Structure 1
Amino acid sequence: MDARKLYTQVVRDLTEGAANRFVDRAEAGPVDIEALRRIAGEEYRIICADERSFALLAARFPDSAPLFLALASGEARALELLTLYAEAVGMGAAELRGYPPVAAAQGYPHHLAWLAQFGSRAEVALALLVNFGFWGGYCGRFAQALRTHHDLTEDQVSFFTFFSAPPPGFEDAALTLLQTGLDGGDDQEGAKTAARLMQSYELAFWDALPTS
């Protein structure tokens, strides 16, 4: 199976169910400040976990270490940008560290951590390829909603604009990893399942936020 064809097919299959009710609501008008704070608190825990998962993937798959180390570095940068957003919605460093996460919002980092320990090359690569596209689209739309309805500045929404497009070279490197896995006998259906679950956990994060 050609990696790009598989990637395109899975994105097409998941697009119909990719509507994000929270972002739709945010685009329609201001959302409750508590929801904005919960995003900061949940993302703080997610970013810290994902940085470790990418470091583990770099160790598991040395041939793709530059890809995963770059992603880990990106998470470190994202954590810096998250503090700007958190401060804009009234959360300091102590509040971020002490935030009690909601289980429904934390499925994504748990799935990534599982993939980092046990996933095949194809499972990891396809899950990340598919999710980065949907996540980036949600982030770009949400950043604009924050500018429009909450008067946040470019610096204050920079966490979301940072993720609105994949890192340079990410797609090509991830497709190479996916093709290597497929050529080596990785299960194609397992890779599709990993991507579908990743997108489900992505939407579960947003669905866990209050919309009133």
Structure 2
Amino acid sequence: MADIIGNLREELKDLNQKILTHPSLQKPSREVLNRFVENQLYIIPHDLKALSHVLSRTIALDEVEFFKMLVDGDYEALKALHDLAYELNIKLDYSRLSLKAVSYTHFLSWLALNGSPGDVAVALTVNLPVWGENVKKLGEHARILNIKSTKIFDLFSGPFGILEEKAEKISERYLDWGRYRFIAKTIQQYELDFWDSLIE
């Protein structure tokens, strides 16, 4: 096997380290939590639509299974997000959205329209463990702040082993190293931008 995901992560280790040690997560902050929710109220529904579109284009059974798992996961996360938003008394407000925060979901939508299932599998699987680790930290901070509706943080915290195994096979099918490197670097830069936006 080519270990596509592992090689891409190795190439991105410096960028990923910036995300994993981001200053927005150095201490519990209600303001950071609020900004997270404000932007996720826009991001998760659009991610869900993008993933549903990719699912509608798949033919191979392993691709159907992979993207169905992701759609189901985002659907559960959307419900949990609304519980958290209700507790925090936050509603979707376009005037509160950060352009940097929502760049990730716009790129995912572009991939859903223009990319192969391999492109999308690479983007998501390179990203998920880094995203999951940061969301796990934010969930710990939310509990310190006595927030009750913390299911969303658990849903995004992994493990991701089954998804990674399926993604590796899908990415091998559409292998294009130059394209995959561009996609992986872009999605992780947008991930860093998201966390930057929470303290700007």
With normalisation by structure 2, the TM-score equals 0.88
Paired with 2:178 and 2:146, the residues of 1 have a C-alpha distance of: 45
| Candidates 52, 58, 63, aligned match of 1:61 | 58
Contact between 1:54 and 1:72, CA under 8 Å: does it hold in 2? yes
What is the DSSP-based 3-state SS (H/G/I as helix, E as strand, rest coil) of the residue aligned with 1:37? helix
Instruction: Give the % identical residues.
Output: 28
Output the amino acid matched with 2:10.
Answer: R
For 2:121, the equivalent position in structure 1 comes to 125
Aligned positions, number: 196
- Structure 1, 102-111 or 8-17: larger mean CA deviation: 8-17
With normalisation by structure 1, the TM-score equals 0.83
For 1:174, the equivalent position in structure 2 comes to 167
Matched, 1:35 2:16: no
Output the amino acid matched with 1:188.
Answer: W
Against the structure 1 CA distance between its residues 58 and 203, is the aligned structure 2 distance closer, same or farther, given a 3 Å change threshold? same
Q: CA deviation at 1:197?
A: 0.4
Contact between 2:15 and 2:189, CA under 8 Å: does it hold in 1? no
Paired with 1:90 and 1:210, the residues of 2 have a C-alpha distance of: 20
Against the structure 1 CA distance between its residues 88 and 200, is the aligned structure 2 distance closer, same or farther, given a 3 Å change threshold? same
RMSD: 2.0
Output the amino acid matched with 1:203.
Answer: L
Against the structure 1 CA distance between its residues 113 and 86, is the aligned structure 2 distance closer, same or farther, given a 3 Å change threshold? same
Matched, 1:26 2:25: yes
For 1:7, the equivalent position in structure 2 comes to 5
What 5-or-longer segments of structure 2 have no aligned partner? none
Paired with 2:20 and 2:159, the residues of 1 have a C-alpha distance of: 23
What 5-or-longer segments of structure 1 have no aligned partner? none
Matched, 1:201 2:190: yes
Tell me the alpha carbon deviations over residues 68-120 of structure 1, each in whole angstroms, 9 at most, x when there is no partner: 122112111101111222233332xxx23x34322111111111111111112
Output the amino acid matched with 1:137.
Answer: E
Contact between 1:140 and 1:161, CA under 8 Å: does it hold in 2? yes
Contact between 2:139 and 2:154, CA under 8 Å: does it hold in 1? yes
Contact between 1:126 and 1:192, CA under 8 Å: does it hold in 2? no
Q: CA deviation at 1:17?
A: 2.0
Output the amino acid matched with 2:40.
Answer: E
